[in-house]
Amino acid sequence: MTNKITLPVIVAENDPFPRLLQAFLDATDDPQRTAAIADFVAHDIPDYPGWLAQARAGAPGLYPAEVRLVATQDELRAALPGAHAVVTESLTIGEAELACADQLKIVQKYGTVLRNIDVGAVAKRNIKLLTVRRRANTGCAEYVFGLMIMLAKRLHETPNLLSMDQLNGAGFRPAHFDRSYTSNSNWLRIGGMRNLSGSTIGIIGLGEIGRELAVRAHAFGMKTLYFQRTWLPAAEEREWHAEYRPLEALLAASDWVCPTLPLTPESRHLIDAAHLAQMKQGAFLINVSRADIVERQALHDALASGHLGGLGLDTFYEEPGRADDPLLTFKNVIITQRIAAQPRMNAFGDLQEVMAGLAAALR
9-131+344-362: CATH topology: Rossmann fold (3.40.50)
In this predicted structure, what is the pLDDT of residue 3? 56
Q: Which helix (H) or strand (E) holds 225?
A: strand 223-227
In this predicted structure, what is the pLDDT of residue 201? 98
What CATH number labels 137-154+194-331? 3.40.50.720
DSSP letter (8 states) at residue 62 = -
Q: Which amino acid is at 20?
A: L
In this predicted structure, what is the pLDDT of residue 1? 36
How many C-beta neighbours within 10 Å does residue 248 have? 13
In this predicted structure, what is the pLDDT of residue 4? 61
Residue intervals of the chain classified under CATH 3.40.50.720 are 9-131+344-362, 137-154+194-331
Q: With beta carbons less than 8 A apart as the criterion, state whether 309 and 284 touch.
A: yes
Q: Which of 61, 56, 62, 67 is nearest to 10 (CA)?
A: 67
Distance CA(357)–CA(8), nearest Å, equals: 13
In this predicted structure, what is the pLDDT of residue 28? 84
User: Burial letters for 194-213: b for 16+ Cβ neighbours within 10 Å, e otherwise?
Assistant: bebeebbbbbbbbbbbbbbb
Distance CA(139)–CA(137), nearest Å, equals: 5
Distance CA(89)–CA(107), nearest Å, equals: 11
Q: Assign residue 269 a region: left if phi > 0, alpha if psi is -120 to 50, beta otherwise?
A: left
Distance CA(327)–CA(137), nearest Å, equals: 27
In this predicted structure, what is the pLDDT of residue 27? 87
Q: With beta carbons less than 8 A apart as the criterion, state whether 70 and 13 touch.
A: yes
* Pairing of β 66-70 and β 9-13: parallel
Partnered with residue 10 across adjacent β-strands are 67, 85
Q: Which of 243, 228, 15 is nearest to 134 (CA)?
A: 15
Q: Which of 72, 69, 66, 78 is nearest to 92 (CA)?
A: 72
Name residues whose C-beta falls within 8 Å of residue 319's C-beta, 6 or more positions apart in sequence: 337, 338
Sign of CA dihedral 155, 219, 130, 232: negative
Distance CA(45)–CA(360), nearest Å, equals: 25
DSSP letter (8 states) at residue 200 = E
Say if residue 64 is preceded by a cis peptide, omega within 30 of 0.
yes
Successive 10-residue mean pLDDT values, the chain, 363 residues: 73 96 90 95 96 97 96 98 97 97 97 96 97 96 97 92 92 92 92 95 96 98 96 95 97 98 90 97 96 96 97 93 94 93 94 98 94
